[in-house]
Amino acid sequence: MVFIFQTYKVEGKSMEPNLYEGQRLIVDKITYRFRPPKPGEVVVIKPKDPTKKFVKRVIATEGQNLQISNGTLRINGLPVHEPYIMEEMYDDFEWTIIPRGTVFVMGDNRNRSMDSRDERNVGFVPLENVVGRAILVYWPFNQAKIIKTPELKGDWDVPDIEFND
């Protein structure tokens, strides 16, 4: 069963107001063997320190461009409506293209999250460091819920991007 699903304990406040410290999740480890993560999905990742695991939200995938300016996240130049975040972001992030084979992740509590904006500790997350997709909060019982992926508004697909390897 560990090869298909795994449990994970939320640590810290980076995913508030949607996930809270101490909650326990069931993580699907099979989906990403058949397809890459999609923007909006909540995932468990291994950051650059292999002894740790973080829970974050996929914001952008390979070939997409991303920028944060004046508290607004833009994917492929279009503003993204993010109803799941705790508060407006304080810091900007320069325009960048997400490299091949990676995802850009952020916590929902943007101003208290160590995520892809922190190049030293997380940076772009290689697909092999995405442990799985968080699908269910099962503990505490009174907070049990299915973790839904929000429908992000806009056309984020980038056709036939060429990478210079």
Distance CA 22, CA 138 (A): 11
Residues with Cβ < 8 Å from 106, sequence gap 6 or more? 56, 57, 59, 113, 115, 116, 117
Which whole number is the average pLDDT over 138-160?
74
Distance CA 39, CA 12 (A): 22
- How far CA 61 is from CA of 9, 66, 136, in Å, comes to 25, 10, 23
Flag whether pLDDT at 82 surpasses 80: yes
Among 9, 13, 14, 145, the active-site one is: 14
Tell me, yes or no, if 14 is annotated catalytic.
yes
Q: Where are the domains of the chain?
A: 5-61+100-146
pLDDT, averaged across the chain: 89
Which whole number is the average pLDDT over 5-34?
95
Query: How confident is the model at residue 50, as a pLDDT?
Result: 84
Query: Does the domain spanning 5-61+100-146 belong to CATH 2.10.109.10?
Result: yes
Asked if 57 and 40 count as a contact pair (C-beta separation under 8 A), the reply is yes
Q: How far is CA 95 from the centre of its chain?
A: 18
Q: How far apart are the first and last CA of the chain?
A: 38
Residue of higher predicted confidence among 68 and 154: 68
Torsion region of 9: left, alpha or beta (phi above 0 gives left; psi -120 to 50 gives alpha): beta
Give the start-end residues of each E strand in the chain: 5-9, 24-28, 42-45, 54-61, 65-69, 72-75, 78-79, 93-97, 102-106, 125-126, 130-139, 145-146
Pairing mode, strands 125-126 and 54-61: unpaired
Flag whether pLDDT at 162 surpasses 90: no
Among 46, 56, 145, 148, the active-site one is: 56
At which residue do the structure tokens 């909540």 appear?
42
Q: Please give the share of the chain, as a percent, with pLDDT higher than 90.
A: 78
Flag whether pLDDT at 163 surpasses 50: no
Residues with Cβ < 8 Å from 128, sequence gap 6 or more? none
Flag whether pLDDT at 59 surpasses 90: yes
Query: How confident is the model at residue 154, as a pLDDT?
Result: 53
Instruction: Specify which residues 134 forms β-bridges with.
Output: 27
Which whole number is the average pLDDT over 99-115?
96
